[in-house]
Amino acid sequence: MAKEEAKIDKLEREYIINLRRKVNGVPIYKRTPKAIRTVKEFLVRHMKIRDRDLNKVRLDRYLNEFLWARGIKNPMTRIKVKAVKEGDIVRVELAELPIGLKFKKLREEKREEKGAEVAKKKKGEKKTEETKPEEKTEEKIEEEKEKKAATVEAGMEMEKSARKMAKHEAKGTKNQPKRQQRMALQK
């Protein structure tokens, strides 16, 4: 029965909300906050929240960013949203993300996935270190030798290029002016 109640409580709908009528009657420096309030009021009315509490409507961060994209004075006049009601709380997101926000969302999701993988690997490494020490195989020893040789070779190349540059520099002072400049003109 608990599963049936959960299915009944979840309500999902898409709306196109016209913001122009409500936003135009407000001072120009308060328009985007009024647009956000209008979205919440619309959803409270249409998603049947009994006590009309605006705090029960949660806007997605990308919806908020979309509304604020053109600043406080010139919000969007019409938006298409997807609302999901779970219990008393209504979660709202943009139905169609613009290209810029879509790429931003994908980039952040990838970043979160990589963070989770790194955390998982670190937990795995701690467990392996505690259980048994690493055994050095011949392949690992050869890899270490190759790395050392590569670093030594790179160091030698850097020294060689530094010597070559030093050879072409003028002896003594580097680009010093012949006379001291006047203080007033030095600014």
* Whether residue 113 sits in one domain with residue 71: no
Is 91 found in the same domain as 7? Answer: yes
Are residues 38 and 64 both part of a single domain? yes
Q: What is the domain range of residue 80?
A: 2-96
- Structural domain includes residue 65: yes
Asked if residue 57 and residue 16 are part of one domain, the reply reads yes
Is residue 127 located within the same domain as residue 105? Answer: yes
Residues of the chain under the 50 pLDDT cut: 1
Number of domains, the chain: 2
What pLDDT, on the 0 to 100 scale, is given for residue 1?
A: 47
Note whether residue 187 is domain-resident: no
Say what the pTM is.
Answer: 0.58
Residues 66 and 113 reside in one and the same domain: no
Same domain for 49 and 106: no
HEC profile for the chain? Answer: CHHHHHHHHCEEEEEEEECHHHHCCCCHHHHHHHHHHHHHHHHHHHCCCCCCCHHHEEECHHHHHHHHCCCCCCCCCEEEEEEEEECCEEEEEECCCCHHHHHHHHHHHHHHHHHHHHHHHHHHHHHHHHHCCCCCCHHHHHHHHHHHHHHHHHHHHHHHHHHHHHHHCCCCCCCCCCCCCCCCCCC
